[in-house]
């Protein structure tokens, strides 16, 4: 089921998300809905706060990029209660966007690699190292679980330049090809 994406200005995007366990209601359906919603909005990653839930659940699927980057073939993961244990490597800047911030793209500096612990969709414990673009996607989605958005990482000058775009999103004056929920409705 395709769910509306919560946009900038909705409070849930600023909450610190909480861990869940296997008793969480309808979790399988929820995970399937998150993938549906992500594919429907042409996203490559989605965190639960973006569908209005303050829980530590994120999904990503980079397969759509595999024509240009064969290494992303089948790179699809569900992460529950993820904890980044360490970040390492050089700081790299690259343009990011976010389904919750339609029309905004800004360069964000992040570290090259991460080591992360999480539970997969079957609640199996995993610990993995990711580098490069995958590590960036995970850090972006992980930020959502901490109530952080990519625009929090940009300079005050850049933030000033996108101020009117941000206030339009808050007012619901934004065009999207996917379903959205704004703070004004
Ligand atoms: Ni995002």
- pLDDT tens-digit series, residues 58-109: 999 999 999 988 999 999 999 999 999 999 999 999 999 999 999 999 999 9
Can you name the residues that pair with 117 across neighbouring β-strands? 83, 127
Q: What is the CATH number of the domain that holds 66?
A: 3.90.45.10
Q: Which domain holds residue 18?
A: 5-181
> Tokens 């409705």 map to which residue?
185
Ligand 1 centroid from CA 98, angstroms? 4
Ligand 1 centroid from CA 26, angstroms? 24
Using one digit for the tens of pLDDT, what is the confidence trace for 18-57? 999 999 999 999 999 999 999 999 999 999 999 999 999 9
Output the average pLDDT for the chain. Answer: 96
pLDDT at 69: 87
Query: pTM, whole model, 2 decimals?
Result: 0.97
Q: How many domains does the chain have?
A: 1
CB 69 within 8 A of CB 48: no
- The residues assigned a catalytic role are 141
pLDDT at 55: 98
pLDDT score of 7 more than 70: yes
Antiparallel, parallel or unpaired: β 180-181 and 57-61: unpaired
Mark the residues whose beta carbon lies below 5 A from ion ligand 1: 98
Banded model confidence at residue 185, pLDDT cuts 50, 70, 90: low
Element of type H or E holding 135: helix 132-145
Ligand 1 centroid from CA 25, angstroms? 24
Question: Residue 52 burial (CB < 10 Å; 0-12/13-18/19+)?
Answer: middle
Using one digit for the tens of pLDDT, what is the confidence trace for 158-172? 999 999 999 999 999
CA–CA dist 185, 181 (Å, integer): 7
Ligand 1 centroid from CA 170, angstroms? 16
> Tokens 């366990």 map to which residue?
21
CA–CA dist 68, 46 (Å, integer): 22
């Amino acid at each position: 089921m395709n769910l509306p994406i919560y946009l900038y200005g909705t409070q849930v995007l600023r909450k610190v998300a909480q861990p869940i366990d296997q008793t969480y209601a309808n979790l399988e359906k929820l995970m399937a809905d998150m993938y549906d919603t992500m594919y429907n909005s042409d996203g490559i990653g989605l965190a639960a706060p973006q569908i209005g839930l303050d829980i530590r659940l994120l999904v990503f699927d980079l397969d759509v990029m595999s024509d240009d980057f064969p290494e992303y073939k089948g790179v699809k993961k569900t992460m529950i209660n993820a904890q980044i244990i360490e970040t390492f490597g050089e700081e790299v800047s690259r343009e990011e966007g976010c389904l919750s911030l339609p029309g905004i793209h800004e360069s964000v500096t992040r570290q090259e690699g991460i080591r992360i612990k999480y539970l997969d969709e079957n609640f199996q414990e995993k610990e993995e190292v990711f580098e490069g673009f995958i590590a960036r996607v995970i850090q972006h989605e992980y930020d959502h679980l901490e109530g952080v958005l990519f625009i929090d990482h940009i300079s005050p000058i850049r933030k000033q330049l996108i101020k009117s775009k941000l206030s339009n999103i808050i007012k619901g004056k934004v065009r999207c090809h996917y379903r959205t929920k704004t703070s004004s409705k």
